[in-house]
Amino acid sequence: MSTYGYYRFAAASPQVRVADVEFNVTAMVKAAREAAGKGAQVVLFPELGITGCSCADLFFQPALMLAARKGLGRFVAETSRLKSVCIVSLPLVVQDALYIMAAVVKDGHVLGLVPKSVLPNYREFYEKRHFCAAAQLPVKSIELPGCGEVPVGTDLLFADDDELSFGVEIGADLWSVIPPSGNLALQGARVIFNPCACDELAGSAAYRRMLVAQQSARCVAAYVLAGAGVGESSQDVVYGGHCLIADNGRMAAESKRFSRDTEIIYADVDLTRLAAARMSESTFHDSRALAAESSVRRVMVGSVASSSDLAYAHIPPRPFVPAPGESATRCEEILNIQACGLVKRMEHSRARSMVLGVSGGLDSSLALLVCERACKMMGIPTSSILAVTMPGFGTTGRTYNNAVALIRHIGADFREINIREACLLHFKDLDYDPSLRTNTYENVQARERTKILMNLANKTGGMVIGTGDLSEIALGWSTYNGDHMSMYSVNCSIPKTLIRCLIEHVAAQSPAEMAATLRDINDTPVSPELLPPADDGTVDQKTEDILGPYDIHDFFLYHFIKYGATPAKLQALALLAFAGEYSQDLIERTLQTFIRRFFTQQFKRTCVPDGPKVGTIALSPRGDWRMPTDACSAVWNMR
């Protein structure tokens, strides 16, 4: 059984000696036991690892072929108590023809044999001199001593009793125009294993890495490759023992090359996440027509031992935030998408100004920066931005000063309209006691601000630019027809954790004074500032004290929307991702809040304004997320 859909895969490149079957099998058995001891559920070894891949014309020697069969039998016997599936490769004679085979081994049995489809016959490779391709194989099964009748073919799909389903291709099969792995994936394989023997040339490792990553992405699968090691013959080429594990386009693990010792790499891959990705990507299933005429034979491998931890899993705590090496490029891309979307809307509507409220908080600051970029794209002055600060009952000096400073740094048209008197008058109209700090007290302020912005837009021929972000949209943390509404919402698919990253990116490129303002905005506690400040003038109404940390909410949002993770899995992954940062109790409480608010607040998402999608997750009701406003959350409640 798997742990929340995760399986641990290992790719091993053991020490090897050319044509020394006893030595090679001993090294492979040792590596298999080590990998199984670390919880690997499938262990992959290199192409022709039992004999070595560089035996050349020795492959024609009956003595070596007999030794290879006996070596397979010995490996099967000595790994029979392991609960892991092992994939080993050897040369095998079938009806007087020689084939490169991958043997899938478990519980003292060879469950299936997969022949190599594509035989390179150029430069240093002359495989057709020795071997036949899979298409020439005349049988569907082979009698193996001690194993009985074993299915053989490229049409074998192996599966356990849970979520694991995998196929095998060998070496240069991956380099072909139409790799067998594509059909295997369309037939249900979530993992592709490739026992490989690739020599090392300058630049070849980078190309191999790219190829493995791309094929895993194309197949929406995990791809595991184990390469032959430096013990192979160096007569004309050198082998590096390159091992790779990719997960839907991401390189999850990679070995050190040119090691003289056995190298084993591990990765924990979430196969239910891959299944969810395939379900939501219609292009994957559209391609099934290409595989309609072919079929697969399913081979059950039984249950495999579950790893007790997810030590080799890639679970970033802030999945929306780009990696440091990619941050600058990704931030520029996102800001340009936001600004281009706004430019198109401005030009189409012939609006003369961009009107937005600037509070000194994260969201409005990012929206203002996007407006500035849009002005540069259109070649118009930043004075075309009408930036309005609207102090209310909860406005603090820190946020007010930051709002004014940022507006002036950018050169926008500054307007200040205090909303206190207008709100007090409205309280009087409602016969409402303003000493009561209820939703009415807060929402009157939010709607007053939106009314001002909308009417200013009418007056100036402008467009109200929305500032609400994806995290707030997911949680419904907005006032309906207040900050919930605008004429174009530039932040609608930017989560709170990413906003800080974008602001820091702009700060790094800004003059010192503006950079200091932006960094202080990033450091300010998130708050709607609708309740009076604390006695010392600081923010008293802190959103994350009420809802829980946005770090955790964004984590839940990512895995819930993108991969359909269950609440139990969300909690388990969060506990791993935020270990030492947030307590279990806080994570559990935040999860309950997330589920409750996500389901009860859909009515706000059903009528959100237009806005640009910048990532794979968005909640627009017009395409990305279509959910009934009255859907029940009972299935997702943990208690």
Per-residue pLDDT tens over the stretch 439-465 = 999 999 999 999 999 999 999 999 999
Q: What is the pLDDT of residue 146?
A: 82
Q: What is the pLDDT of residue 1?
A: 57
Selected from 3.40.30.10, 3.40.190.10, 3.60.110.10, 3.30.750.24, the CATH number assigned to the domain covering 6-302 reads 3.60.110.10
Q: What is the pLDDT of residue 413?
A: 98
Q: Return the residue matching tokens 């909860």.
A: 394
Radius of gyration of the chain (CA): 30
Q: In what order do the strands lie in the sheet with 191-196?
A: 250-254, 243-247, 222-227, 191-196, 165-168, 156-160, 297-302
Q: What is the pLDDT of residue 191?
A: 98
Per-residue pLDDT tens over the stretch 361-390 = 999 999 999 999 999 999 999 999 999 999
pLDDT beneath 70, residues of the chain = 1, 122-125, 282, 289-294, 639
Selected from 3.40.50.620, 3.90.1150.10, 3.40.1130.10, 3.90.1310.10, the CATH number assigned to the domain covering 324-636 reads 3.40.50.620
Structural domain boundaries of the chain?
6-302, 324-636
Per-residue pLDDT tens over the stretch 8-65 = 999 999 999 999 999 999 999 999 999 999 999 999 999 999 999 999 999 999 999 9
**Could you give phi then psi for residue 252, rounded to 5 degrees?**
-90, -30
Beta bridge partners of 148: 144
Query: Please, what's the b/e burial string for 268-284 (b: 16 or more CB within 10 A of its CB; e: otherwise)?
Result: bbbbbbbbbbbeeeeeb
Q: What is the pLDDT of residue 291?
A: 63
Query: What SS3 state is found at 636?
Result: helix
pTM of the predicted model, to two decimals? 0.93
Q: Return the residue matching tokens 């930043």.
A: 382
